Amino acid sequence: MGNLMVSVSGIRGIVGESLNPDVIIKYVKAYADYIDGETIVLGRDSRRTGQYILNLVKSILVAKGYDVYDMGIVPTPTVLLNIEILKADGGIIITASHNPIEWNALKLASEKGMFLTSEEGAIFLDSLKNDHSKYVKYDKVGNVIKYKKGIQNHIKRILSLINLERIKKRKFKVVLDCVNGAGGVFTPKLLKEMNCNYTVINEEPNGEFPRNPEPRPENLSKLAEKVKKEKADIGFAHDPDVDRLAVVDEKGEPIGEELTLALAAWKFLMDNPNNKCVCNLSTSMIVEDIASKYDSGVIRTPVGEVNVASRMIEENAIIGGEGNGGVIIPELHYTRDAPAAIAVILDFLAVQNCPVSKIIQELPKYNIIKDKIKFNNKDKRQKYMKKFRKINFEEKPVNIDYQDGIRFEWKKSWIHIRPSGTEPIIRVIGESLDKNWLKNKIEYIKNYE
């Protein structure tokens, strides 16, 4: 079905078109049988379509005999953490994350409070061929439990990660942009617990996104203005489901979502040298530069939160994440968590006792370009990916990585070409110290025939 994206990032599409009640029923019935358990945790972001989808999902699960913990509008990491806390058999988060308002999605989690792995996802998708029309009898239907402790559980865990008294003493002045998403019900409460003097814009969780929901520098002009006007120490921006974080420095300059993981990794590796960090193939080299300061290594995985998290477990890594502003802190839970990243970054600033702009002056000034090639269907996209395997560069790469699409690597430069799991596009992301070199390479790729 056109524009229905099925991947480790969930089942997402345009509501009323590729994502309609028939599709939702099909996948939720199959998921209920795949999990084969008794309890499931549900939550959603603030999109207006989320309520009807949530009601539909609840009804299917109850008819399948599940007890459902309904958390309402909460961050995605809050749902995933509470799957673990409640010892539930799985969870579904209704969110299309950074996609535009007309999109929504079902993000499917296992009993580990993590999204389905590629292997688990393959088994689940294969099960769609089976008959899932069996429901329980009237005396076996499940219950819906309105669960109100999820946010409290999450905040308590975050506060245990940091030196709370050190942060409280600093009385940081913070501006927060919640993009009218799920962050409005969570992050102001966390900032209050940390004794921050905070101002919130776009706080109401009504799903009417006042900007492009992706927290990239070009979308953060209002936050940047507010940081300067309030003379704040720092600004933070969420995406609608609060698993990604962007930072604006005290001068009102967005520092780029790549530096979110870098700052968090800096804090953890500084405190725990000779350790490991895991990130995906599209993440900035800055993480490697920071890791080298503390005799630590960086391991790269295919894009996708569950890919990073699974490798972190294997390697016993102390920190990990993705270059889109996603930070995973194992001590808390194996999921990208924007509020937790806020707490860690504020703790790091309290230790450094200097402004954000001064801290990032110590880092290399890489140029990163994030571009895309749009397609109307997956078949054409697949043909393009095949042709990129034959591409020739005048300057031969020192390495080519095929873990996830194709990543070409040169000394202190790289370009990653991969099909998106969340949009009908091919992403072309690159990084280099030489901006013109990088622009020319990416244009060459986009126009390659």
Mean pLDDT for back-to-back runs of 10 residues, the chain (449 residues): 72 95 97 97 98 98 98 98 98 94 96 94 94 96 97 98 97 98 98 98 96 95 98 98 98 95 97 97 96 97 94 97 96 97 98 96 92 81 86 93 96 94 87 96 90
Residue 326 maps to a domain? yes
Cα distances (Å, whole numbers) of residue 203 to 174, 186, 207, 236, 263 = 14, 10, 10, 13, 25
Residue 84 lies in a domain: yes
- Assigned domain for 161 exists: no
Q: Do 351 and 219 share a structural domain? A: yes
For residue 2, what pLDDT is reported?
56
User: Contact at 8 Å (CB) between 405 and 416?
Assistant: yes
Q: Mark whether 208 and 316 lie in a shared domain.
A: yes
Nearest residue to 24 via CA among 44, 182, 180, 381: 44
Domain check: are 178 and 323 in the same one? yes
Residue at a domain's end among 314, 335, 360: 360
pLDDT of residue 387: 87
Residue after which a domain boundary falls, among 118, 150, 182: 150
Q: What is the pLDDT of residue 301?
A: 97
Residue 46 to residue 33: CA distance in whole angstroms: 28
Looking at the structure, do residues 262 and 382 belong to the same domain, yes or no?
A: no
> Hey, how many other C-beta atoms are within 10 angstroms of the C-beta on 63?
15
**Range(s) of the domain holding residue 113:** 5-150
Q: Examine residue 159 and state whether it is found in any structural domain, yes or no.
A: no
Residue 160 lies in a domain: no
Determine phi and psi for 138, rounding to 5 degrees.
-55, -30
| Coarse DSSP helix, strand, coil percentages of the chain, rounded to the nearest 5 percent | 40, 25, 35
CATH number at residue 87: 3.40.120.10
128 in the same domain as 113: yes
Secondary structure class of 408 (helix, strand, coil): strand
pLDDT at position 135 is 97
Residue 262 lies in a domain: yes
Chain position carrying tokens 């617990």? 193
Number of domains in the chain: 3
Q: Do 99 and 177 sit in the same domain of this protein?
A: no
CA atoms within 13 A on the CB side of 226: 19
Cβ–Cβ under 8 Å, residues 205 and 75: no
| Separation of alpha carbons 43 and 95, rounded Å | 9
Residue 448's region, left for phi above 0, alpha for psi from -120 to 50, else beta, is: beta
Distance of CA 16 to the CA centre of its chain: 25
Do 355 and 375 lie in one domain? The reply is: no
Pairing of strands 413-419, 333-336: unpaired
Does residue 18 contact residue 2 with C-beta atoms inside 8 Å? yes
| Structural contact between residues 323 and 282, judged by C-beta atoms closer than 8 angstroms | yes
Residue at a domain's end among 360, 392, 411: 360
The three-state secondary structure class of 428 is: strand
Question: Residues 185, 129: one domain?
Answer: no
Residue 356 shares a structural domain with residue 372: no
User: The pTM is what?
Assistant: 0.94
User: Which of the residues are catalytic?
Assistant: 97
What is the predicted pLDDT for the residue at 422?
73
Task: Verify that 95 and 131 share a domain, yes or no.
Answer: yes
Q: Is residue 158 part of a domain?
A: no
Judge if 31 and 125 occupy the same domain.
yes
Residue 128 is classified by DSSP as G
In a domain, 164, yes or no: no
Q: Do 372 and 411 share a domain, yes or no?
A: yes
